[in-house]
Amino acid sequence: MRHGIFEEYYQDDKNTMKYTATYKKDVLLEEHYYNEFGEEIAPDGSKPTNNGTTENGGTEEGGGKKKKDKKKKKE
């Protein structure tokens, strides 16, 4: 069972990070890939898009659908 932060580094003089992942109870929470210069890249090797949405369609700030405001009852 994986739990915690997993990191992989390039075998160079700078010891640059290549990959990092965060697991909680064997569930992947975050995964990041880096090139040999330490810049974050997408898993396929291209630059990551920064459009503010996550894999499941939510936003980084809100995390999905927003709650509706409740209307007050008239008495």
3-state secondary structure the chain: CCCEEEEEECCCCCCCEEEEEEEECCEEEEEEEECCCCCEECCCCCCCCCCCECCCCCECCCCCCCCCCCCCCCC
pLDDT tens, 16-26? 899 999 999 99
Whether the pTM exceeds 0.85: the reply is: no
What digits encode the pLDDT tens for the residues 20-71?
A: 999 999 999 999 999 888 898 887 656 665 554 444 444 444 444 555 666 6
Domain ranges of the chain: 4-41
